[in-house]
Amino acid sequence: MISKRRKNASGFTLVELMAVLLIIALIAGLAAKSFMGSTEKAKVVTTKATLSTLHGAVNMFKLDTGHYPSEEVGLIELIEQPMDLEDWAPGGYLEQTSIPRDGWKNEFVYIRNPESGKPFVILSYGADGQEGGEGHDRDIYSTNLDGSDDSETYSETYTEDEY
């Protein structure tokens, strides 16, 4: 009598349960890998959009005041009126009440008269927060949001004769 009940009993064997758990783990691993890559790409896109906004705000500041924000004070001049400026736009040049940060929560770097010959550049040091790097660690420049590589223009380069 007992043997008939076991033949008719429904359920999963341990091997079947382990196979299902393995498949679920593999799918979860693939999804997590895909999600992490998308997250880093989104941070780059967000950083580029913020750089574009800041670059435009600095140019508007220049149009109104006749000069660019000083490197010593930096981008804060976009939201806080300098004492010596009367032609500063009421309300400032950004909608935020603080200077935004890049996609990795690092501060942007503002440089006046960089080696490129342009009047200014705003940059993010990328995911690692340090100068240089490749991939998501690569520096992103406000003057180079199209993705071409002109990082050599901004970094100091030395020839063997200079060492």
**CATH fold of the domain at 40-162:** Glycoprotein, Type 4 Pilin (3.30.700)
pLDDT of residue 56: 95
Instruction: For the chain, give every domain's residue range.
Output: 40-162
pTM: 0.70
On the question of pLDDT at 157 being above 60, the answer is: no
Q: pLDDT tens digits, residue range 123-137?
A: 999 999 999 888 888
Confidence of residue 151 (pLDDT cuts 50, 70, 90): very low
Q: pLDDT tens digits, residue range 86-116?
A: 889 999 999 988 999 999 999 999 999 888 8
- In angstroms, the CA 24 to CA 18 distance is 10
On the question of pLDDT at 161 being above 70, the answer is: no
Residue whose token pair is 């490749």: 134
